[in-house]
């Protein structure tokens, strides 16, 4: 019954060690492993270099022999989603990597002569490589401090970006970009799926990841609505639930996960979590410096609603654009309060039922 004491915050709400919520530096140790357990591993998925090739999806399907399904999870159906190049649609029991594909466009209002820049009309609006000789002549303007040059600065960034950024292109007065992101189970520090599993089928591995034991799972399905990211799902025709294992079977043999191995652009980086976090911070700094101010890390913050994710991301737009919740919170954070209210409600029931027996017999 050591299980009981370790989870008592669920009843009492007294949780000084952040077992339900908040940062947890050693999640593996908290799960009961000896102090010499391996370091926590994870993924840093840098979507700014993803080319949407879906090698990760295929590698995962092959390694884990996942069955075929369509974008709505229907088994053995070949269905086109009809919304983009994305026919996988979502993470689920049969897709443990999902490459989201978003096509965006915007009109580009580049600085016009009215804004005081002479000979500007052609600049920056041409095709991606159409920098011509004007780039060099603009460069010295960087040092100036007036508003005009700040606008020019952003134009130069636009050009710089389109020359190295495979995701953006220009066409006339329109700029088009493709956001691609390989989504996966976040292997949360506070994993809702793991907290609510009544059979112990879901467990924390020695690598700090979250894995389902398919010989234990009885398909109660509780973990499915408990995941704040909508990752884990029940496989139709099987009854049990499935999700990414972070290739537990490969990790124990000293191999990298199949998806990270297959990724040709290093968009999916696997490694020790602390190392990945440092690498991600550096990458974000670089991008910010280059003017990509929409770049942000998602799941990196250990103060977030799930105590930080084991698989985190560098995104170029709001999380919900990629189908990710903007501020996920592990449901168990609120469980102590719910239990207390349930205890009150149960007492109310007993009190009301018994009070009818008091007093005058009618």
Partner 1 sequence: MTRPDPEVAQADTPEMRTSGRPAEALDAPLDHRPGTSGVATPGGGWRRADGPTRGQQRRKRKGGGRRGGARDGDPTVEDAEFQSYYGRQIVKSAVWKTPDVPLYLFLGGAAGSSAVLGAAAEFSDRPALARTAHLIAGGGAVASVGFLIHDLGRPERFLHMLRVFKPTSPLSVGSYILSPFSALTGAAAALTLAERVDRVPGWVKAPWLRRTAGVGGAVFGGPMAAYTAVLLANTATPSWHEPGNQLPFVFTGSGLAAGGGLCMAFTPVDQAGPARKAAVVGAAVELAAMHKVENDHGIVSEPFHIGRAGKLLRIAKACTAAGAVGAAVLGGKRWGAVASGALLAAGSALTRFGVFDAGMASSKDPKYVVVPQRERLAARAAGTQT
Interaction between residue 99 and ligand SF4 (CB under 6 A): no
Cβ nearer to ligand SF4, comparing 201 with 280: 201
Answer whether 201's CB lies under 8 Å from 216's CB. Answer: yes
Cβ nearer to partner 1, comparing 113 with 225: 225
Interaction between residue 219 and ligand SF4 (CB under 6 A): yes
Interaction between residue 333 and ligand SF4 (CB under 6 A): no
Q: How far is CA 213 from CA 203, 242, 276, 325, in A?
A: 8, 9, 27, 27
- In angstroms and rounded to an integer, the radius of gyration of the C-alpha atoms of the chain is 26
Answer whether 266's CB lies under 8 Å from 314's CB. Answer: no
Interaction between residue 193 and ligand SF4 (CB under 6 A): yes
Q: How far is the CB of 89 from partner 1 (least distance, A)?
A: 7
How many angstroms separate the CA atoms of 46 and 267, rounded? 5
Answer whether 91's CB lies under 8 Å from 117's CB. Answer: no
Cβ nearer to partner 1, comparing 118 with 362: 362
Cα angle for residues 165, 171, 177 (degrees, 5° grid):
40
Interaction between residue 63 and ligand SF4 (CB under 6 A): yes
132 binds, among partner 1, ligand SF4, none (CB under 5 to 8 A by kind): none
How many angstroms separate the CA atoms of 212 and 242, rounded? 7
326 binds, among ligand SF4, partner 1, none (CB under 5 to 8 A by kind): partner 1
Answer whether 197's CB lies under 8 Å from 222's CB. Answer: yes
Answer whether 295's CB lies under 8 Å from 314's CB. Answer: yes
- Taking CB under 6 A as the binding criterion, the range among 33-41, 107-115, 155-163, 193-201 that sits at the site for ligand SF4 is 193-201
How many angstroms separate the CA atoms of 246 and 324, rounded? 19
Q: How far is the CB of 84 from ligand SF4 (least distance, A)?
A: 21
Residues that bind ligand SF4 (CB under 6 A): 59-60, 63-64, 96-97, 184-188, 191-193, 196-197, 199, 201-202, 210, 212, 217-223, 227, 229, 231-232, 241, 243-247, 257-259
């Amino acid at each position: 019954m050591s299980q009981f004491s370790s989870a008592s915050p669920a009843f009492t709400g007294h949780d000084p060690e952040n077992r339900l919520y908040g940062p947890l530096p050693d999640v593996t140790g908290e799960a009961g492993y000896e102090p010499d357990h391996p370091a926590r591993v994870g993924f840093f998925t840098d979507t700014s270099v993803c080319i949407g090739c879906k090698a990760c999806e295929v590698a995962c399907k092959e390694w884990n022999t996942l069955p075929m399904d369509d974008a709505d999870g229907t088994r053995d159906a070949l269905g086109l989603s009809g919304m983009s190049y994305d026919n996988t649609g979502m993470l689920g029991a049969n897709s443990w990597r999902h490459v989201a594909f978003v096509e965006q466009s915007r009109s580009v209002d580049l600085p016009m002569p009215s804004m005081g820049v002479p000979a500007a009309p052609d600049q920056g609006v041409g095709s991606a490589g159409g920098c011509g000789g004007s780039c060099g002549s603009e460069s010295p303007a960087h040092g100036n401090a007036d508003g005009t040059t700040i606008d020019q600065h952003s134009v130069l960034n636009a050009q710089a970006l389109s020359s190295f950024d495979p995701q953006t292109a220009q066409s006339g007065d329109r700029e088009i970009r493709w956001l691609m992101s390989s989504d996966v189970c976040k292997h949360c520090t506070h994993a809702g799926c793991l907290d609510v599993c009544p059979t112990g089928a879901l467990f924390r591995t020695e690598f700090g990841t979250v894995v389902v034991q398919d010989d234990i799972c009885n398909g109660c399905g509780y973990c499915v609505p408990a995941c704040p990211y909508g990752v884990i799902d029940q496989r139709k025709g099987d009854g049990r639930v499935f999700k990414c294992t972070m290739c537990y079977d490969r990790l124990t043999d000293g191999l990298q996960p199949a998806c990270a191995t297959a990724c040709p652009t290093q968009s999916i980086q696997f490694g020790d979590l602390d190392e990945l976090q440092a690498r991600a911070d550096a990458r974000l700094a670089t991008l910010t410096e280059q003017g990509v101010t929409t770049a942000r890390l998602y799941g990196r913050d250990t103060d977030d609603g799930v105590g930080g994710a084991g698989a985190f991301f560098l995104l170029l737009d709001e999380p919900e654009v990629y189908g990710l919740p903007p501020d996920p919170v592990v449901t168990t954070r609120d469980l102590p309060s719910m239990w207390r209210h349930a205890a009150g409600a149960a007492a109310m029931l007993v009190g009301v039922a018994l009070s009818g027996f008091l007093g005058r017999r009618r």
